[in-house]
Amino acid sequence: MLRLGRHAFDDDVTLMMAIVNRTPDSFFDNGATWAEDDAFARVAEVVAHGAEIVDIGGIKAAPGEEIGAAEEKARVVDFVARVREEWPQLVISVDTWRSEVGAAVCEAGADVLNDAWGGADPELVDVAAQYGAAIVCTHTGGATPRTRPFRNQYDDVVAAAIADTVGYAERAMAAGVSRESVVIDPAHDFGKNTFHSLEITRRLGEMVATGWPVLVSLSNKDFVGETLGLDVGERLTGTLAATAICALAGARVFRVHQVPETRQTVDMAWSIAGRRPPQRAIRGLQ
Q: Which residues are catalytic?
A: 221, 255
Backbone angles phi, psi at 116, to 5 degrees: -75, -5
Taking alpha carbons only, the member of 19, 16, 15 closest to residue 221 is 19
DSSP-assigned beta bridge partners for residue 256: 18
Using CA atoms, how far residue 183 sits from 39, 65, 82, 126, in Å, is 26, 30, 26, 16
Query: 25 near 61, Cβ under 8 Å?
Result: no
Backbone angles phi, psi at 219, to 5 degrees: -60, 115
CB atoms near residue 85 (< 10 Å): 10
* Rounded Cα–Cα distance for residues 167 and 85 (Å): 35
Return all residues near 237 (Cβ < 8 A) that are at least 6 apart. none
Query: 18 near 256, Cβ under 8 Å?
Result: yes
Query: 72 near 79, Cβ under 8 Å?
Result: no
DSSP 25: S
Return the sign of the alpha-carbon dihedral for residues 145, 149, 152, 156: positive
